[in-house]
Structure 1
Amino acid sequence: MSSSIRRGALAAAAIAFSITSLAACGAGNNAQTLEVKPDNAATSVGDIKVQNAMVITQPDPKAGGPAVVSATIFNTGTTSQTLDSISVEGDGSAEISPAKGGGSVTVPAGGSLVLGGKDNATATLNNMDAAVQNGNAQKITFSFSKTGEVNLRAFVVPAESYFTKWGPSNIPSTPSPTGSPSEHATPTESATGTPASGAPGTPAGEEPGSDTTTESGSSEQ
């Protein structure tokens, strides 16, 4: 996918967010849930509906570090289901963690699960591949205990602007430039305004400013 197409995809995702978020309050289950981004990738299989799916990368591509999968998952069935795995095409499987403690991540019967963001379950991609680039529509596979696999394509976006609070919590600091001013040699005293010994215009062995004409005059008498 060319860079121009990727930039267009990112712009479209941001515009979709800004427009649909204005009408989310009265749209029920199929819109904004806990302020997760609306009107992004969505699909339904059996009792499971996946909405607002995104792969969110580091804000600075050069910083390295993990990416995350963000989504809202609804379970319309009468029994709970566990989210067993998430895989992203070209990047392998995500590390799934519940909002608190350890164990499995569950989508309750008649309820929902939010992936990404503060105090929510997380799906972390620790091995980002060159095939996963911002602006791509990447295939994501969610696997559930009862429904099985649910596939869809979702935008890959950096954790900027609208997507900052849903992005990776582990953001490496940008490396500072090597070397500091203190490591460089300091100026010599001759640069401070005091001529060093043997400076141009000063005879060697004499102090700067001595009156040589007086000495030559006394020797003539």
Structure 2
Amino acid sequence: MSRSLRHGAFAATALVFSIGTLSACGAGNDAQTLQVRPDNAATAVDSIKIQNLNIITQAEPDAEGPAVIAATLFNDGTKQEVVEKVTLPGTRATVELKPAKGKGPLVIPAGGRLIIGGKNNASAVIENGRQAGDDGGVQNVAFTFSETGDVELAASIVPATSYYEGFGPTALPSAEPEPTPSDSGTPDTPSDVESESPSGTETEPASGAESDSDAGTDATH
């Protein structure tokens, strides 16, 4: 092989290696750790990045109950960001925000991240999950940050099954059946009252009457 061909082969190998390296860097450690899926909504505005955004509904299609918003928020800035509110534009749904522990706002520390959804994480709960939309659809989610302002992007609506099972909302408890007469007890029947009343009133007087009669007989004799 000539020197020029060898140089060409080396250059092609270096190019392939560079592309592979850049692809790996583009995925990043966070992508692997957080299991970023390519079909999840993501965006970046100023120092805020939003990844893995989904609206997760009840596992059963006909189940009533809340839905939740799941997302990972990154803050590349030098100041902490507070998630002041989250809304679903175009709907009447309300979103209740709760930190992972205790009470207070949802804070993204400077240079840190905030995970919303899943066990032991902050939560964003949509009380009436059906107001968020139907499974398989798309719904806009608007975040309001203390420093960056409003950031809006579309989220997929998915049921809490398979990959999303551990991030889904808690189902409402099933309605308890109404108590039956046998369960709640029935009032005493007249027969019960009659059977109890004579035994209660006759026992002591009867024994007393017999003792008086016997005493009178003994006195006569």
Pairing 1:166–2:163 present: no
Which residues of 2 match residues 86-125 of structure 1 at below 5 A? 86-89=86-89, 90-125=91-126
Which residues of 2 match residues 1-221 of structure 1 at below 5 A? 27-28=27-28, 31-33=31-33, 35=34, 37-39=36-38, 40-89=40-89, 90-130=91-131, 132-168=133-169, 170-173=170-173
**Offset, 1:28:** 1.9
Contact 2:93–2:132 (Cα < 8 Å) also in 1: no
Contact 1:50–1:71 (Cα < 8 Å) also in 2: yes
Contact 2:72–2:115 (Cα < 8 Å) also in 1: yes
Contact 2:56–2:168 (Cα < 8 Å) also in 1: yes
Q: Structure 1 residues 62 and 164 mapped into 2: Cα distance closer, same or farther (>3 Å)?
A: same
Q: Structure 1 residues 140 and 131 mapped into 2: Cα distance closer, same or farther (>3 Å)?
A: closer
Q: TM-score, normalised by structure 1?
A: 0.63
Q: Structure 1 residues 29 and 43 mapped into 2: Cα distance closer, same or farther (>3 Å)?
A: farther
Q: TM-score, normalised by structure 2?
A: 0.63
Contact 1:52–1:70 (Cα < 8 Å) also in 2: yes
1:177-199 C-alpha deviation (Å, 9 max, x unpaired)? 9999x9xxxxxxxxxxxxxxxxx
Contact 2:87–2:141 (Cα < 8 Å) also in 1: yes
Contact 2:96–2:124 (Cα < 8 Å) also in 1: yes
**Offset, 1:37:** 4.5
User: Larger Cα Rg: Structure 1 or Structure 2?
Assistant: 2
Q: RMSD over aligned Cα, in angstroms?
A: 2.9
Query: Number of matched residues?
Result: 158
Write 1 or 2 for the structure with the bigger share of helix: 2
Residues of 1 paired with 2:123 and 2:84: CA distance? Answer: 13
Residues of 2 paired with 1:93 and 1:129: CA distance? Answer: 12
Gapped regions of structure 1 (runs ≥ 5): 1-22, 183-221
| Aligned structure 1 segments of 4 or more residues deviating by more than 6 angstroms | 23-26, 176-180
Residues of 1 paired with 2:61 and 2:163: CA distance? Answer: 17
Contact 1:36–1:71 (Cα < 8 Å) also in 2: no
Letter in 2 for 1:97: K
Q: Structure 1 residues 96 and 131 mapped into 2: Cα distance closer, same or farther (>3 Å)?
A: closer
Q: Structure 1 residues 160 and 129 mapped into 2: Cα distance closer, same or farther (>3 Å)?
A: closer
**Offset, 1:171:** 1.1
Letter in 2 for 1:68: V
Percentage of pairs with the same residue:
45
**Offset, 1:61:** 2.8
Residues of 2 paired with 1:25 and 1:164: CA distance? Answer: 29
Q: Structure 1 residues 109 and 132 mapped into 2: Cα distance closer, same or farther (>3 Å)?
A: same
Partner SS for 1:60: coil
Residues of 2 paired with 1:91 and 1:32: CA distance? Answer: 36
